[in-house]
């Protein structure tokens, strides 16, 4: 039986490669066998609702005034439970600050950063070194370079690029590929789903990067692998059963309902990536065989969390803000513990 889910299909007629999905699942199962509390598709973090109380006014009030106050309190209480504000961990705050710093200094957007993997060093809760390494190897990685941002208590200390001083003039023939080239890479990859052409160009091959810039025909990537699919289905079933069982105790500790945690995750993504109204409408929570939403723990201190995946696909092919968002939310205080965005343009989605 061929495993397939419509959440991996471009509504405009493009399908994410099955073999890449299989690779993600295999990595998830392998990772789970080492640490059950780890998120197979990565994870996330967000939100703390604060409540304030007013001192009691020791005066005799009229019945009419009391009624007005009661109605006002009901309205305020209802608002408090419907308006959700994202609160992030210091590490996630550092990520957000680093992304913004790269946009301000080098013009890199979240979409462009999709061609890089992000990591951070620092565990004192104050100082973080956020590093961005190309998801590619050899010549292309050399063209893109690496970025590094130092963040102290939410403030930027330094922002550097390993190719600082190298010329980015001349399009894809430039010595170094910066924001201009990355912007074109986003545009080309969004309609071709092909990054191999960038690697060939970076290696010195004389090719037309803009050739065949058409959406992949519907069904072009739907090659079936029955034997592989059957094995993956078995692994998925076992993995889901194990994480669901392991998460029952954590779910019982949660101060939030499942729906509240999902909304906390949604608001965290919207806040961190400044999604506009159109992008927000495309953002959808996903819980299926490929992206499992589950309760788990994170960190050395085993903080209880809920791990989620959100996806955004446009009807007209890839648009800015589309891709896969993974987020981990603390089930006790609602803090966003981890948040990552994968544009899928590098073929990693």
Q: What is the DSSP string of 79-112?
A: HHHH-----B-HHHHHHHHHHHHHHHHH---TTG
pLDDT of residue 144: 98
pLDDT digits (tens, 9 = 90+) for 157-176: 999 999 999 999 999 999 99
Name residue, tokens 């106050």: 69
User: Residue written as tokens 């993995």?
Assistant: 239
Extract the tokens encoding 258. 């499942």
For residue 224, what pLDDT is reported? 54
Map tokens 């506009």 to a residue.
Answer: 276
By the 10 Å C-beta count (0-12 exposed, 13-18 middle, 19+ buried), 253 is classed as: exposed
Query: pLDDT at position 55, please?
Result: 36
In tens, the pLDDT along 233-292 reads: 888 888 888 888 989 999 999 999 999 999 999 999 999 999 999 999 999 999 988 899
Mean pLDDT is lowest, of 48-62, 83-97, 263-277, 306-320, for 48-62
pLDDT of amino acid 232: 81
Q: CA torsion 218→221→225→229, rounded to 10°?
A: -80
* pTM greater than the 0.75 cutoff: no
The residues, ordered by sequence, that sit 6+ positions from 11 with a Cβ below 8 Å of its Cβ are: 313, 314, 315
Q: How far is CA 83 from the centre of its chain?
A: 22
Per-residue pLDDT, 240: 83
> What pLDDT is attached to residue 264?
97
Helix (H) or strand (E) holding 259: helix 258-273
Given pLDDT bands bounded at 50, 70 and 90, which one contains residue 228?
Answer: low
């Amino acid at each position: 039986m061929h495993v397939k889910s419509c959440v991996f299909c471009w509504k405009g007629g493009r399908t994410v490669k099955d073999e890449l999905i299989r690779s993600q699942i295999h990595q998830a199962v392998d990772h789970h066998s080492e640490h059950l509390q780890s998120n197979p598709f990565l994870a996330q973090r967000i939100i703390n609702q604060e409540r304030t109380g007013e001192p009691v006014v020791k005066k005799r009030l009229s019945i009419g005034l009391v009624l007005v106050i009661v109605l006002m309190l009901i309205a305020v209480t209802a608002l408090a439970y419907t308006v959700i504000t994202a609160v992030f961990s210091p590490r996630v705050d550092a990520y957000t600050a680093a992304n913004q710093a790269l946009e301000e200094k080098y013009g890199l957007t979240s979409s462009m950063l999709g061609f890089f993997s992000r990591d951070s060093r620092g565990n004192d809760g104050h100082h973080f070194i956020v590093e961005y390494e190309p998801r590619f190897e050899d010549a292309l990685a050399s063209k893109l370079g690496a970025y590094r941002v130092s963040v102290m208590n939410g403030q930027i200390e330094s922002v550097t690029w390993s190719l600082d001083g190298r010329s980015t003039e001349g399009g894809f023939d430039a010595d170094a590929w910066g924001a201009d080239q990355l912007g074109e890479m986003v545009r080309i990859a969004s309609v071709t789903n092909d990054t191999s052409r960038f690697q060939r160009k970076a290696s010195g091959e004389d090719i037309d990067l803009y050739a065949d810039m058409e959406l992949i025909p519907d069904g072009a990537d739907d090659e079936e692998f029955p034997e592989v699919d059957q094995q993956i289905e078995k692994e998925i079933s076992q993995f889901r059963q194990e994480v669901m069982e392991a998460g029952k105790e954590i779910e019982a500790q949660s101060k939030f309902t499942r729906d509240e945690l999902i909304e906390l995750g949604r608001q965290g993504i919207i806040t961190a990536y400044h999604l506009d109204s159109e992008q927000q409408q495309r953002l959808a929570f996903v819980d299926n065989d490929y992206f499992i939403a589950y309760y788990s723990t994170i960190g050395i201190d085993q903080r209880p969390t809920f791990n989620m995946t959100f996806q955004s696909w446009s009807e007209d092919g890839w648009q800015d803000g589309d891709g896969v968002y993974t987020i981990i939310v603390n089930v006790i205080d609602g803090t966003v513990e981890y948040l990552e965005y994968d544009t899928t343009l590098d073929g990693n989605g």
